[in-house]
């Protein structure tokens, strides 16, 4: 195993993968508003090259930040000087990345069918697209693959359509992986796709959903970013578009929608992880979905899946006023997290984006809600920070299983309350 580790380190150097040796993830506890402001000051110090996994929000909410090795001392001194408490969540990030790579290497095998496909490991883009083709070939009466656009770098953007017939029926949309480093989401999306084909005709409640509605599932919503997480930088979040006049690459695709675009809750700095882009829908990955949703015109639930934090969120993120459907969305969120917790006891908090985490503008579900899609939700899957974006592959299937119970709750409610 030691030899494998050395090999993976050597391969990393040869293949030009970004190295995270000595990087730590700190959890910061800002007790009051002045302390939150102090941490926000840290965020603005570009030379430290901090990567906020959970950004500064309201007092009492944990803040998680990846600190590069050269900046560790400076950040700790800053926090201690201002009496701000912190703990080390991840001691050495590279050791977790090495474990992840070893696991993927050990289970690397081309599956001959979706029955022998390994759902308990992480897969690259080619493997996921191969899985989609197999699933379509095995279930031609139920599953088709739609090509809804191309990425900035020219990769195809695919959506799986699950349908038992009919024309432009009411539909449910699910997307995973809009932030490319959130690997458990794409892995869960693969599992959901297989689960749909297994449960149709077997599970009466789910069969009723698919007999009356279509499901659209976009497993890799940010293909360029996802490919980059495999080739170069495992922790890449954004798209890979080039910004004129900046050396920094990419836009946050969850700040690029036309809902409070460019307001507080996103950054105008192209080097920021929350850079909103030059204009709304500037990213083809976002524009492809916008065009699809508008052309379809009959999507009734829209669910965008992220990690991590164990949250179920509904609009709004860009403003504090509640939606017209606040009471129903909140009640359904409560039922959904209850169903999700019933399997493994995984606890989710729920509420509107702005009250539960922080102000965020230009977000997916604010736009879909404003388009008239009442049941617009965002999940933040496991965990609460022990591994963050580097959730061990052993947790993929349990995460997908419990999330599916939540998704089914939303889908059943949507079917019973069509509007």
Residues identified as active-site: 380
Q: List, edge to edge, every strand of the sheet that includes 51-54.
A: 51-54, 62-67, 24-29, 85-90
Token output for 13: 């150097």
Q: How far apart are CA 255 and CA 81, in angstroms?
A: 33
- Phi, psi dihedrals of residue 202, rounded to the nearest 5°: -110, -45
Token output for 125: 């883009």
Its sign, for the CA torsion 146, 147, 151, 154, is positive
Token output for 335: 């039922």
Q: Any idea what DSSP says for residue 395?
A: G
Sort strands 143-150 and 85-90 into parallel, antiparallel or unpaired: unpaired
User: Quick check: 221 and 285 in contact, CB under 8 A?
Assistant: yes
Q: How many CB atoms lie under 10 A from the CB of residue 53?
A: 23
Distance of CA 263 to the CA centre of its chain: 22
Quick check: helix, strand or coil at residue 242? strand
Token output for 280: 């709304």
Go through 23-39 and write b for each residue having 16 or more CB atoms within 10 A of its CB, e for each that does not. bbbbbbbbeeeebbebb
Name residue 26's beta-bridge partners. Answer: 65, 88
Which helix (DSSP H) or strand (DSSP E) does residue 96 occupy? helix 93-106
Name residue 218's beta-bridge partners. Answer: 175
**Closest Cα partner for 299 from 163, 162, 168, 164?**
168
Evaluate the omega torsion of the peptide bond into residue 383 and state whether it is cis, within 30 degrees of 0. Answer: yes
Residue 36 to residues 31, 77, 212: CA-CA distances in angstroms? 8, 16, 48
User: Quick check: 377 and 305 in contact, CB under 8 A?
Assistant: no
Name residue 351's beta-bridge partners. Answer: 313
* CA-only gyration radius of the chain, Å: 21
User: Quick check: 56 and 30 in contact, CB under 8 A?
Assistant: yes
């Amino acid at each position: 195993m030691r030899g494998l580790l050395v090999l993976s380190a050597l391969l990393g150097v040869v293949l030009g993968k970004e190295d995270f040796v000595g990087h730590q993830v700190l959890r910061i506890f800002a007790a009051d508003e002045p302390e939150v402001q102090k941490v926000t000051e840290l965020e603005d110090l570009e030379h430290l090259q901090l990567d906020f996994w959970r950004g500064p929000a309201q007092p009492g909410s944990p803040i998680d930040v990846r600190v590069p090795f050269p900046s560790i001392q400076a950040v700790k001194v800053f926090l201690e000087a201002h009496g701000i408490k912190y703990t080390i969540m991840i001691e050495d990030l590279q050791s977790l990345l090495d474990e992840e790579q070893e696991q993927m290497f050990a289970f690397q095998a081309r599956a001959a069918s979706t029955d022998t496909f390994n759902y308990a490991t992480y897969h690259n883009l080619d493997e996921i697209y191969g899985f989609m083709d197999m699933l379509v070939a095995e279930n031609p009466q139920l599953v088709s693959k739609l090509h809804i656009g191309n990425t900035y770098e020219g990769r195809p953007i695919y959506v799986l359509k699950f349908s038992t017939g009919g024309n432009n029926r009411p539909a449910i949309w699910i997307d995973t992986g809009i932030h490319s480093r959130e690997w458990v989401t794409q892995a869960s999306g693969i599992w959901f796709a297989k689960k749909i084909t297994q449960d149709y005709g077997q599970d009466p409640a789910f069969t009723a959903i698919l007999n009356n509605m279509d499901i659209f599932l976009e497993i890799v919503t940010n293909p360029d970013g996802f490919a980059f997480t495999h080739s170069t930088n495992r922790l890449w979040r954004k798209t890979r578009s080039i910004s004129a006049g900046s050396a920094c690459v990419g836009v946050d695709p969850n700040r690029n929608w036309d809902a409070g675009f460019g307001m507080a809750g996103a950054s105008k700095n192209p080097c920021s992880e929350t850079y909103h882009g030059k204009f709304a829908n500037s990213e083809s990955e976002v524009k492809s979905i916008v065009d699809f949703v508008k052309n379809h015109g009959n999507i009734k639930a829209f669910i965008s899946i992220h990690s991590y934090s164990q949250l179920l969120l509904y609009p709004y993120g860009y403003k504090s006023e509640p939606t017209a459907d606040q009471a129903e969305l909140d009640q359904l969120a409560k039922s959904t997290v209850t169903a999700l917790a019933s399997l493994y006891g995984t606890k989710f908090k729920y509420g509107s984006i702005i009250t539960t985490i922080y102000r965020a503008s230009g977000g997916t579900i604010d736009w879909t809600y404003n388009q008239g899609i009442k049941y617009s939700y965002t999940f933040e899957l496991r965990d609460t920070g022990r591994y963050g974006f580097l959730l061990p592959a052993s947790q993929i299937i349990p995460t997908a299983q419990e999330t599916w119970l939540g998704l089914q709750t939303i889908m059943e409610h949507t079917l019973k309350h069509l509007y």
